[in-house]
């Protein structure tokens, strides 16, 4: 008896020894793999004789097509780009802009999903980049939407990251050239030169973490510009700017546009992706509109007006709204939820200042471009991300940053992150459906001894789950099946069932149809509407698909830059919404902070 703990410890030590040996073996295997993989990836340029004597375009993309496992995202895309030309690329989310750029840069994602069809020519020569580093070496630079800067480095250090000029030290003979010392003076010189080309004020010694966003953006661009021609790489010839103005103030955006013109004059071609259409008209030579993986229009920017572009962008064959809802007079309706000066610090979806009234019994849609903050609203209200401001529900203030209070008040949230927040992946459907209701509302529990013991009511759980499985046509082998074994669409239905089981007065639904097939989509939407009609539950639905919002909502609020730009009745023309999203006034707009 006395010895037993020691034996246990001995056993533990034995098992950890086994684990260590396993670790050792893995290390060996990994070492070998590393050594094999360390063989330098060589750049393969497939050279094709170019017979034409005329001035060749800098970039030509021919018959580009791409599908992700049968899902066609790009079809026969053709365009050319001359040196010094600024090409404005516009299109809704999912139109294929980013996929096209990923193909240009030879991102891993493209290679891993079966490559692409068609041909990319640079200076008339067919090229196939295997990694973005090859693309960089060929003189193509990319400035991303999210900054890839090191916060505790200065502008100069970031601009010259891994391309620092070095001063010789003797130790480098022994330990390799990485033991040469950085040539700080030369670094400042190069970065100042690059900043000068942009004609902006930017302190090269300023720490990135202390910069306003605009300066961060300039730092990124200066980094691309500083890439001078060397014997192994070419100087920057083509710059891709992916929504560089999205985070900038108007003034900052203006100076960026000026800088872009300057660069174009010096012979650098620019592909400019933005949702702000006025900028496109102001700065671009050519406008290319994409929709559903195709190029809809390529026109010279001169003489084009914003409504025209907006129509090209969203002008898909407008489906008739399947279910017209009687638009009620909003003035008389009771406000169920009131958001006041809400801010939410959700990375990538920052909400800055949202005021929004949600009326009892309605379905209100929240739309807008990706990254503008629409997802931040429900996540912040529920308390999943740090938030501030005020929320009133049924006239009472609900404390923020506390999911429990949010749930107790009678609200529920179906997260866009199904697998992370929405589901207990390793548990059965029964557990998933009943979990929140059991935790928050003591439902499905039998009480003994005056509530001292609580026992799960297995029968009630089973019955409820059965009910929802039937109602929403969840395809599963049984209610005992694990959530992770279901398809995406069915998982989404389970998420909804889980929220329905709480019987909330107000339901937030975030991106309910993201990544699920068309059949499942309409079932999910139907379920939401049915729930709204039968039980009168108010629903706030966040979605990036405007048509989907229009088909089920009463009103739609468009969010941009963390604020509500305006609210329109769902029956409004698509083009109106298109205009609103790009920041254009309209007399139909109701409320908002435009």
Closest distance of CB 312 from another protein, Å: 34
Conformational region of residue 91, where left means phi above 0, alpha means psi within -120 to 50, and beta covers everything else: left
Q: What is the CA radius of gyration of the chain?
A: 28
Between 149 and 295, CB nearer to another protein? 149
Closest distance of CB 240 from another protein, Å: 14
Closest distance of CB 244 from another protein, Å: 17
Distance between CA atoms of residues 100 and 106, nearest Å: 10
Closest distance of CB 239 from another protein, Å: 16
Distance between CA atoms of residues 83 and 239, nearest Å: 11
Distance between CA atoms of residues 545 and 547, nearest Å: 6
Three-state secondary structure call for residue 130 = coil
| Nearest Cα to Cα of residue 497 among 437, 554, 419 | 437
Closest distance of CB 560 from another protein, Å: 15
Between 212 and 536, CB nearer to another protein? 212
Between 157 and 362, CB nearer to another protein? 157
Between 81 and 387, CB nearer to another protein? 387
Closest distance of CB 180 from another protein, Å: 6
Instruction: Answer for the pair 564, 367: CB distance below 8 angstroms, yes or no.
Output: no
Between 228 and 533, CB nearer to another protein? 228
Distance between CA atoms of residues 189 and 166, nearest Å: 13
Supply the DSSP string of 29-47, one letter for each residue. HHHHHHHHHTSPPPP----
Between 79 and 343, CB nearer to another protein? 343
Distance between CA atoms of residues 68 and 480, nearest Å: 33
Between 23 and 48, CB nearer to another protein? 23
DSSP code, position 329: P
Between 132 and 569, CB nearer to another protein? 132
Q: Taking the alpha carbons of 519, 100, 285, 250 in that order, is the dihedral positive or negative?
A: positive
Closest distance of CB 453 from another protein, Å: 36
What distance lies between CA 27 and its chain's CA centroid?
Answer: 36
Distance between CA atoms of residues 314 and 369, nearest Å: 13
What angle is formed at CA 451 by the lines to CA 446 and CA 453, rounded to 5 degrees? 70
Between 167 and 319, CB nearer to another protein? 167
What angle is formed at CA 159 by the lines to CA 122 and CA 254, rounded to 5 degrees? 80
Cβ count near 39 (within 10 Å): 7
Between 180 and 330, CB nearer to another protein? 180
Closest distance of CB 400 from another protein, Å: 10
Closest distance of CB 27 from another protein, Å: 6
Distance between CA atoms of residues 194 and 508, nearest Å: 47
- Residues in contact with another protein by the rule CB under 8 A: 16-17, 20, 23, 26-27, 30-31, 34, 132-133, 148-153, 157, 161-164, 166, 169, 177-182, 210, 212, 341, 343-345, 350-353, 386-389
Burial level of 7, CB count in 10 A (0-12/13-18/19+)? exposed
| Nearest Cα to Cα of residue 319 among 581, 574, 580 | 574
Closest distance of CB 371 from another protein, Å: 16
Between 150 and 535, CB nearer to another protein? 150
Tokens of 580: 């609103």
Distance between CA atoms of residues 571 and 558, nearest Å: 14
Between 88 and 383, CB nearer to another protein? 383
What angle is formed at CA 225 by the lines to CA 224 and CA 231, rounded to 5 degrees? 90
Closest distance of CB 437 from another protein, Å: 31
Closest distance of CB 344 from another protein, Å: 8
Instruction: Answer for the pair 494, 433: CB distance below 8 angstroms, yes or no.
Output: yes
Distance between CA atoms of residues 518 and 211, nearest Å: 45
């Amino acid at each position: 008896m006395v010895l037993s703990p020691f034996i246990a410890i001995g056993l533990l030590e034995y098992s950890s020894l086994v684990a260590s040996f396993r670790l050792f073996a893995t290390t060996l295997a990994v070492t070998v793999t590393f050594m094999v993989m360390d063989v330098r990836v060589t750049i393969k340029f497939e050279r094709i004789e170019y017979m034409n004597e005329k001035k060749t375009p800098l970039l030509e993309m021919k018959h580009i097509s791409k599908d992700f496992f049968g899902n066609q995202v790009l079809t026969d895309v053709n365009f050319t780009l001359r040196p010094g030309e600024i090409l404005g690329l516009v299109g809704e989310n999912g139109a294929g802009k980013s996929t096209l750029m990923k193909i240009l840069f030879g991102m891993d994602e493209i290679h891993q999903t079966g490559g692409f069809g068609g041909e990319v020519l640079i200076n008339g020569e067919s090229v196939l980049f295997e990694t973005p580093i090859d693309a960089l070496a060929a003189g193509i630079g990319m400035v991303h939407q999210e900054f890839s800067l090191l916060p505790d480095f200065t502008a100069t250090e970031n601009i010259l990251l891994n391309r620092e000029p070095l001063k010789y030290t003797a130790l480098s003979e022994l330990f390799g050239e990485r033991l040469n010392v950085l040539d700080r003076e030369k670094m400042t010189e190069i970065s100042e030169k690059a900043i000068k080309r942009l004609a902006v004020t930017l302190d090269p010694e300023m720490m990135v973490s202390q910069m306003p966003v605009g300066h961060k953006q300039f730092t990124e661009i200066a980094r691309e510009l500083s890439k001078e021609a060397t014997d192994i790489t070419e100087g920057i010839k083509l710059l891709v700017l992916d929504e560089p103005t999205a985070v900038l103030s108007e003034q900052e955006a203006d100076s960026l546009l000026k800088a872009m013109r300057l660069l174009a004059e010096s012979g650098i071609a620019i592909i400019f992706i933005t949702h702000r259409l006025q900028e496109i008209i102001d700065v671009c030579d050519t406008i290319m509109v994409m929709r559903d993986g195709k190029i809809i229009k390529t026109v010279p920017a001169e003489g084009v007006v914003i409504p025209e572009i907006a129509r090209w962008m969203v002008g898909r064959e407008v489906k008739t709204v399947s279910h017209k809802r009687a638009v009620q007079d909003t003035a008389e309706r009771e406000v169920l939820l009131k958001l006041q000066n809400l801010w939410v610090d959700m990375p990538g979806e920052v909400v800055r200042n949202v005021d929004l009234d949600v009326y009892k019994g309605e379905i209100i849609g929240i739309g807008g471009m990706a990254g503008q903050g629409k997802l931040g609203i429900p996540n912040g209200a529920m308390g999943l991300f740090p938030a501030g401001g005020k929320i009133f529900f049924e006239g009472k203030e609900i404390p923020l940053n506390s999911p429990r209070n949010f749930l107790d008040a009678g609200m529920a949230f179906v997260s866009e992150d199904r697998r992370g927040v929405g589901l207990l992946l390793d548990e059965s459907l029964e557990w998933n459906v009943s979990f929140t209701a059991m935790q928050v509302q003591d439902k499905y529990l039998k009480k003994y001894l005056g509530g001292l013991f609580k026992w799960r009511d297995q029968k009630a759980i089973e019955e409820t789950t059965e009910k929802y499985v039937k109602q929403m046509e969840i395809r599963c082998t049984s209610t005992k099946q694990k959530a992770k074994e279901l398809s995406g669409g069915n998982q989404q239905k389970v998420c909804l069932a889980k929220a329905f089981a709480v019987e909330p007065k107000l339901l937030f639904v975030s991106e309910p149809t993201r990544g699920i097939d068309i059949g499942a989509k309409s079932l999910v939407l139907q379920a939401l509407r049915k729930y709204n009609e039968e039980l009168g539950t108010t629903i706030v639905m966040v979605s990036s698909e405007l048509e989907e919002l229009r088909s089920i909502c009463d009103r739609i609020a468009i969010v941009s830059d963390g604020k509500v730009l305006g609210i329109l009745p769902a029956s409004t023309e698509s083009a109106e919404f298109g205009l609103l999203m790009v920041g254009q006034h309209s007399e139909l707009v109701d409320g908002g902070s435009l």
